[in-house]
A and B are shown apart, each in its own frame.
Chain A
Amino acid sequence: DQQVKQNSPSLSVQEGRISILNCDYTNSMFDYFLWYKKYPAEGPTFLISISSIKDKNEDGRFTVFLNKSAKHLSLHIVPSQPGDSAVYFCAASSQGGSEKLVFGKGTKLTVNP
């Protein structure tokens, strides 16, 4: 039951270029979406989120885009830095009383110097 899908297990980009990580979801009840970043031996760290009433949210080098009709969101990192190398998880929740997050499998981003 993959309600949140990250179809690319890995992505490699050059330092300074744009990284685009994609996420698709199937549950139309999801209305809040989050991106987490995870380094080895650490827990997921919150990066950025977006509510379904918006189609874009920006925080510094990180921008999340939401396309509700396509049930698709993406995370853009510009410019990418070697320290961004980590596993990125997309997560979703439905705000109608549930507090749980449903995660994708993650995309391992490698930013090469």
Chain B
Amino acid sequence: EPEVTQTPSHQVTQMGQEVILRCVPISNHLYFYWYRQILGQKVEFLVSFYNNEISEKSEIFDDQFSVERPDGSNFTLKIRSTKLEDSAMYFCASSDEGVYGYTFGSGTRLTVV
């Protein structure tokens, strides 16, 4: 069964450093998403991406965050200057039909120290 692949599975970074989280969505999917889950909290929407541009973003997704689909297969989330509160599990998802067909990756656990 097709799956969404995220790398790395765990990333430790120093506060203030830039970090790039990588995702390979399912190949025929057109919609791409990032969500995050702070430990013990709910899964929160960050951003959706369609047709090479952001289609929707949450209040969390401020100027420190950016997304890119650099080569037609990868989908990346960049955090420019990480803060302690960015520590969370970050999930990438892709879909071929919006909310009706999400597939989530296994997540990247980001730890900011």
The chain A residues found within 8 Å of chain B, CB to CB, are 4, 32, 34, 36, 41-46, 49, 89, 91, 93, 95, 98-106
Contact = CB atoms under 8 A, between A and B. Distances in A.
A89 B35 CA distance: 14
A43 B48 contact: no
B91 A102 contact: no
Contacts of B105: 43
B44 A44 contact: no
B107 A104 contact: no
A100 B42 contact: no
A49 to B, nearest CB: 7
Nearest to A102: B45
A45 B98 contact: no
Contact of B58 (A44, A49, A100): A100
Given A95-B99, A99-B33, A99-B55, A43 B4 contact: yes
A55 B108 CA distance: 36
Contacts of A49: 100
A43 B99 contact: no
A5 to B, nearest CB: 10
Residue in B55, B102, B106 with the greatest tally of chain A CB atoms within 10 Å: B102
A101 B106 contact: no
Given A43-B105, A100-B58, A103-B43, 7 more contacts: A36-B104, A42-B106, A43-B107, A89-B42, A98-B99, A99-B55, A100-B33
8 contacts: A4-B42, A42-B106, A43-B104, A43-B105, A44-B91, A45-B104, A102-B45, A103-B42
